[in-house]
Structure 1
Amino acid sequence: MDGHDFAAVAVGQGAGAVLASCPLPHITAPVFVVPDTVKALGCLAAQWRNHTRARVVGVTGTAGKTTVKEALAQILSLAGKTARTAMNHNNQIGMPRALLNTDGDEDFWVMEAGISQEGDMDDLGQVLRPDLALVLNAGAGHTEGLGEKGVAWHKARLLSYLAKGGKGLVCADYPDLAREAKATGADVRFFSVTGREVDFRAVYLGAATPPAGADASAAESYGKFQLWLEGTTLDVIAPFRGEYGAENVVAVAAAAHMLGVDASTIAQGLAAAHMPAQRFNQVQSGFWLIIDDTYNANPLSMRRMLEAAAEQAGPRPFVAVLGAMLELGAQAAAEHEALGQRLAKLNPAAIVWKGPHAEDVRAGLTKAGYTGPWQAVDDAEDFKKAWHALQENGLEAKARANGGVVLFKGSRSNKLETLMTALTDRHES
């Protein structure tokens, strides 16, 4: 859509002025004509950022940044007035709008920076100029647009735009990312979940009993973690499981610690944190615990969610309903074959696939020795038939005793939520 087509409607609903890239003689309100409206929007947000007293946090990474942004904002809200980007509105339009939607008197801003093309982080960094830049991880994601210099280089660019006296917080478990972060010359602290000797560390201790008042549908998602925060040891529970959970927890806790939040508030906030929609959300449907992680996917997030779901399933049957990972460019075939090999090691009870690269995933499964059920589907109707066939062939009998776990995950355009809805509707009918 062309926004200019809606200018008159906006003015009719109270807009005081219009920012446009061409004259609009039919508009009665003032019209500011600029060469590039998106860049101008960023300039306006940058001016507003200059006037805030808030401590500004920028969050980026390949996987988990929206979840970490939400959890950190929830903790910081216990310590002061906090604003954050809505959902994953993290690009050159969404993030400036998030800044401009603040009141200006907050104690903290937590803003997500998402990139897919060269130069994106420079655009966002110049607007945000964070006091604390949190770079969660770096893996294959949007490599179609970020492949030449590498994802880690582009993510670390945020550190080049720190405010005066600002600091970086970076995961040390990604060697390329750690190297690129150090190369910026920024003041950087590091965190780890693999035992590296850094300022902030975490270890996953296993499943945990959810806190009182937790959503019953999320009861199985809680894990227990031990944290080391610059010499302080802290045991916490949070609605995460496994290695990915440890990374999220230590990133959030370390950021809050660096912003002056005390350990008890950090623990309280983690226990009460709730996840955004379509990010490892859980609901019981018949014999099956359905895990909804349908928002998006790349190789790193796919591996983590598969491992977390398989760990949560334990001895119960685990079914992976997956969709293609997009925007990987020349790496796409190899990454999908590698996915198949990793998936085979988890020994799922069945696999359902939607979208391109089915043959690459299948090749990886075969190489790794997987011989279980495999179904490729085109739409919800196909999925219903495939699910019925799996149940008839013994899957339902396996789940009847102690239940089972079904993970739905894939890139956005696969619309795996339509398959998930078909499954939950089937059990409710």
Structure 2
Amino acid sequence: MSLPHDRDTQPASPTTSIDRRGTTRSPSPKVAFLSANFPAHSTSPGQAKVVQNITRQVIRRLSSLQHVEVLEMPNENEHDDDEPLSGRDTPSTASPPREGSPGIAEEYTNGMDHQTNGRIVQAPAKKIDWEIPRKVLHSSIGFLTLYLWTSQGSPKAVIIVLWTALAVILPADFIRLRWPAFERTYERLLGFLMRECEKDSVNGVVWYILGVNFALTAYPLDVATVAILILSWADTAASTVGRMFGSVTPRLPSQLPFLRLPLAPRKSLAGFVAACVTGTLIAIGFWKWIAPLRRDAQDISWTWDNGVSPALVDPAVKGWCQGLLGDACSLGNVTSGWVGLGLIGVMAGLVSGVAEALDLGSLDDNLTLPIIAGGCIFGSLKLMSLLS
């Protein structure tokens, strides 16, 4: 129905405003109705009243749809409360919340949404990837190492086998990173053992073999064996316990006190403690019960009765130290028994925790952990031999 208007009379346009005030509901718009002067010959007062009632109901309906509830989250791009909203920032056209936002998810409702009913919805907790196949393979290397030790296996044969395996794995990894067709086949077969970050970089197995071969070449066989066990079991324990309890324990500091060594910011106190405890148990258990099973005494750097082997230190160096420091250089045979084994265990535990938590940039811990752990344990045994 169209109603003729008097030429000199302009009906007032109702004005509304949306005042955004955090989580409170914006006030209902106030609409002022002015009576229009309709010509008497065109409509009756009753018809004008009906038109006004219909108009009032429509505007009330529209105003109810303008009530928008926004559950706020801190956002660096969000307008201040005192800032007017532009047309593109009105609640009806606001962008949806980003995926993966931790904690509380934003809800956009218009008063007609019956699914959330204005309640705060907790985002689902991120599922922990336990990397079970990878950890099983990682830990199995430790049991293979113990088997080779107790079966009198030759370290030279192990080194040759590892270099041979590397000669196959390294070219395959090189081709994988440059040939998409081969990459798809490679990841279809072995992708379950790889982390996401390794799919665009060198496979961790390469660094694992390099670290193990370095330890077997540079250190005594028992020290190298302990270093491999730390890589196999202490690293796995730190990763597992860290994922399990890392969210309820504090993060490690950015630097190690006193030594000021850089620590990885993602490491937790729970993982650090797990690595220390595991490293201590590995050292004590190996030299107390496993090492004596080896028949060749030259492969053993510490025994329960004699302590640290004197062969670790050159006699000339030890004589020079005794001549320089006198009796202070000789503490007696304190490196044997539980005292010596306890010292080795504490040192191995601290080294395991620190070496696992170190932040060495792009260097893989499969390479650095056996090298650092073996080197520190070997140095500690030399120092104990020098002072005994």
| TM-score class, shorter | under 0.3
Q: TM-score, normalised by structure 2?
A: 0.22
Answer 1 or 2: higher relative contact order, Cα 8 Å, separation at least 6: 2
For the pair shown, which has the larger CA radius of gyration, 1 or 2? 2
**Structure with the higher helix share, 1 or 2:** 2
